[in-house]
Amino acid sequence: MKVVELSGGVGGARMAVGLARLSAIDLTVVVNVGDDEEIHGLHISPDIDTVIYTLSDAQGPEGWGRAGDSFNVNTELARFGVDNTFVLGDLDLALNLFRTNRLAAGARLSTVTGEITSSFQITPNVLPVSDDLLRTEIMIDKANWIGFQEYFVIRQNQDLVKAIRFTGQDSASPAPGVIESIQQADHVVIAPSNPPLSIWPILAVEDVRSAVAAHRNVTAVSPLIGGKALKGPADRVMASLGLPPGNLGVAEAYQDVVDRLIIDSDDRDDVARIEGIEGIEVLPTDIRIKEPGHAERLAREIVGL
C-alpha cells in the first residue's frame, strides 16, 4: 500500500514514525521547505532534518536537532561576534555542511535529501516539496515581513501573525517524484502540523495542491485538542489569520483538499457541526502521538490496516 504524508517538523515527523512502523506501507514523506534558511552560510532544512532524525530515532529531546549533540562550534562563534541565537549543534552542523557543499556543487535538494536519508539508513522516501526557493514569510506588523526562522526561533513565535506569504511559490516546481507519489498513493495523510505555517507552504506549490485536491482519499490529522495546539503556535496563528477556532478552523484551512479530518476523542462534539459545515468526514480518536506506539496505532486507523 502506497502512502504519502505531507509533513512539517515535529508533529509530522512523529506521524511519519507511526506510518513507517507499518511494514505493509510504502511511505513517501513530502516535507515543507518554507522553513529553510541560510544560517552562517549553511543551507538549513529544519523540517526535512527533523523528519529524518526522528525516523532514525536520533532526534533531540525537544523533537528537533540531534540527541546528545554538542554545541562547540555554535558557542565558539560568539568569540567572533557572530549572532549564535539560532543554535546549531555540532552533529547537526556536519549535516548542514554536507548539504551546503552538495548544493553548491549543483546537486538538487531532493537528491541531497535522498543521500542524507541513505546515510541514516531509513526506509521511507523523504522528499522536499520543491527543489526551488520557497520561503515562508510572516507579517508581524504593517508591511513588516520577517523570515520564518526569525519569527519562530529568534523571536520565539511571540508575534501576532497578521499575514503570511510564500516567496517563490509562483516559480517553485514540485521536486521529482512528488506529483507521481501523490497520484499513485492509496492514501494521502496531512500530518498534525501547523496548517498555515507547515502545510500551506507545501500546498502553495500549485501542482502539488492540484494533485492533492484531485486525490480521493486525503486524511488530515488535526494538530489541536480542545482548541489548543499540542505544540507550537498553531491555534494563535490560525486565529490571527481569521480562521474559526478549533477543529473547524483546521477543516477550513484544508478546504477543497481533504476528504476526512481526524480529531481527538475529547473533541468528539465537533463531529456533526464540522461535517455539516464543511461536507467532509470527521473521525474522533486519540491523536496524541508523541510515543511511537501511539503514532503507529493512529497510522493504522488512518490507512485502515
- Return the number of the residue (81 or 276) whose C-beta is nearest a copy of itself: 81
Of the candidates 22, 91, 140, 271, which one interacts with a copy of itself according to CB under 8 A?
91
Q: Considering the complex, what minimum distance in angstroms separates the CB of residue 76 from a copy of itself?
A: 4
Of the candidates 81, 106, 242, 276, which one interacts with a copy of itself according to CB under 8 A?
81
- Count other Cβ atoms within 10 Å, centred on residue 125: 17
Of the candidates 3, 48, 55, 95, which one interacts with a copy of itself according to CB under 8 A?
95
Q: Considering the complex, what minimum distance in angstroms separates the CB of residue 37 from a copy of itself?
A: 14
Q: Considering the complex, what minimum distance in angstroms separates the CB of residue 106 from a copy of itself?
A: 13
Q: Considering the complex, what minimum distance in angstroms separates the CB of residue 150 from a copy of itself?
A: 18
Report whether 161 contacts 237 (CB < 8 A).
yes
Using CB under 8 A as the binding rule, whether residue 72 contacts a copy of itself is answered as yes
* CA atoms within a 13 Å half-sphere pointing along the CA-CB vector of 11: 27
Site pattern 97..136 for a copy of itself (x: CB under 8 A) = xx-xx--x----------xx--xx----------------
Residues 265-294 within binding reach of a copy of itself (CB under 8 A): none
- Return the number of the residue (91 or 140) whose C-beta is nearest a copy of itself: 91
Using CB under 8 A as the binding rule, whether residue 83 contacts a copy of itself is answered as no
> Which is nearest to 45 in space by CA: 152, 106, 128, 153?
128
**In the structure grid, which three cell numbers stand for residue 231, read together?**
505544540
Q: Which letter, b or e, does each residue of 236-271 get, where b requires 16 or more Cβ atoms within 10 Å of its Cβ?
A: bbbbbbebeebbbbbbbbbeebbebbbbbeebeebb
Using CB under 8 A as the binding rule, whether residue 85 contacts a copy of itself is answered as no
Q: Considering the complex, what minimum distance in angstroms separates the CB of residue 183 from a copy of itself?
A: 31
- Return the number of the residue (94 or 163) whose C-beta is nearest a copy of itself: 94
Using CB under 8 A as the binding rule, whether residue 40 contacts a copy of itself is answered as yes
Q: Considering the complex, what minimum distance in angstroms separates the CB of residue 94 from a copy of itself?
A: 4
- As a whole number of angstroms, the distance between CA 70 and CA 55 comes to 21
Using CB under 8 A as the binding rule, whether residue 93 contacts a copy of itself is answered as yes
Of the candidates 1, 57, 67, 82, which one interacts with a copy of itself according to CB under 8 A?
82
Give the number of residues in contact with a copy of itself, rule: CB under 8 A: 26
Of the candidates 23, 24, 41, 143, which one interacts with a copy of itself according to CB under 8 A?
41
Residue numbers of the site for a copy of itself (CB under 8 A)?
Answer: 40-41, 70, 72-74, 76-77, 79-82, 90-91, 93-95, 97-98, 100-101, 104, 115-116, 119-120
